[in-house]
Amino acid sequence: MVPLRRFLAVLASLLVGAATLVAVPSQAQAAPNFKAPFPCGQRWTYSHHDGEVRRALDFIRSDGGTTNGTPVLASAAGTAHRFSQPSGAGNYIAVEHGGGWKTYYFHLSAYSVAEGAQVSQGQQIGVTGSTGNSTGPHIHYEQLLNGVGQNIVINGGGLSYPGSYGSAFLTSDNGCGSQPGKPFMTWGSGVRVHSDARLAASVVATLGGPTSVRVLCQKQGDTVTAEGYTNNWWAKLSSPAGFISNIYIDDPNAVLPGVPTC
Ligand SMILES: [Zn+2]
């Protein structure tokens, strides 16, 4: 490893030297177009506290969904590295974006990628948790340039640094364009996701409250009567992967418009 790194360092210095000779302006490399570190369509609130390292912001959900267990997404493409700091950042991931840019995602309950994985923008890299020095589930998020924390910019706009939650909000468009299926919100609580469109099929997950989901297709299965509705159409979700009755999709139609039949 070391000889290769030394070689690359020498190569890099030669390239920098060459660039200097042709008088390339010495501007910092433009930042990637960073997106929110949580899933498409979700709304979170954020704050910054005095004891914080660098220019971090802490994020918690403000759309009725549960913060703990929500996927953490890469703000931009890069190389993911896994770290653990039980007395501080907990389980965390750093994504190297090139050009000296790096993002941090602290307090994860779990990693979703291997050490050194190449990740795309919007790819899940971890699961929101409260590991390390943390008082509750949240995403501690940072953007750094050459190791120095920067004021956080999402979709080209700088975020504010309020001292408490509930005054500033961010809705994610991260990964919106790259996911299969049509987005919907669910409603109701304790909605069971089954492995097939049958009530007797195994339960693979339970939606605690309103959840943003993507419906891949729909098909007829067991007739369900709930919440004053009767319907035998079921929606196949991409994540969690399984079926829920169309009754729990927040749409007035029994058969969802714009969704193919499975
Ligand atoms: Zn923090």
* Span 140-175, pLDDT tens digits: 999 999 999 999 999 999 999 999 999 999 999 998
**H/E stretch holding 83:** strand 78-85
Q: For the residues 181-189, what does the mean pLDDT come to?
A: 89
How many whole angstroms from 29 Cα to the centroid of ligand 1?
A: 26
More confident residue, 81 or 176: 81
How many whole angstroms from 112 Cα to the centroid of ligand 1?
A: 21
Q: Domain limits of the chain?
A: 43-171, 182-248
How many whole angstroms from 195 Cα to the centroid of ligand 1?
A: 37
Which range, of 26-35, 195-204, 220-229, averages the lowest pLDDT? 26-35
How many whole angstroms from 142 Cα to the centroid of ligand 1?
A: 9
pLDDT, position 131:
98
pLDDT, position 11:
45
How many whole angstroms from 161 Cα to the centroid of ligand 1?
A: 12
Q: For the residues 117-139, what does the mean pLDDT come to?
A: 94
Is the Cβ–Cβ distance between 249 and 181 less than 8 Å? no
* Exposed/middle/buried for residue 143 (C-beta within 10 Å: 0-12, 13-18, 19+): buried
More confident residue, 68 or 3: 68
pLDDT, position 178:
65
Distance of CA 138 to the CA centre of its chain: 12
How many whole angstroms from 145 Cα to the centroid of ligand 1?
A: 18
How many whole angstroms from 89 Cα to the centroid of ligand 1?
A: 8
pLDDT, position 51:
83
Average pLDDT, the chain: 89
How many whole angstroms from 185 Cα to the centroid of ligand 1?
A: 29
Q: What is the C-alpha end-to-end distance of the chain, expressed in Å?
A: 50
Q: Which fold has domain 43-171?
A: Glucose Permease (Domain IIA) (2.70.70)
| Class of the CATH-defined domain 182-248 | mainly beta
pLDDT, position 19:
43
How many whole angstroms from 32 Cα to the centroid of ligand 1?
A: 22
Residues of the chain above pLDDT 70, percent: 88
pLDDT, position 223:
97
How many whole angstroms from 190 Cα to the centroid of ligand 1?
A: 30
- To the question of pTM greater than 0.85 for the whole model, the response is no
* 43-171 and 182-248 have identical folds: no
How many whole angstroms from 174 Cα to the centroid of ligand 1?
A: 21
How many whole angstroms from 88 Cα to the centroid of ligand 1?
A: 10
How many whole angstroms from 57 Cα to the centroid of ligand 1?
A: 6
Task: Give the model confidence (pLDDT) of 64-106 as tens digits.
Answer: 999 999 999 999 999 999 999 999 999 999 999 999 999 999 9
Q: For the residues 202-209, what does the mean pLDDT come to?
A: 91
Structure tokens at 29: 């490399």
Is the Cβ–Cβ distance between 230 and 187 less than 8 Å? no
How many whole angstroms from 40 Cα to the centroid of ligand 1?
A: 22
How far is Cα 45 from Cα 234, in angstroms, rounded to an integer? 33
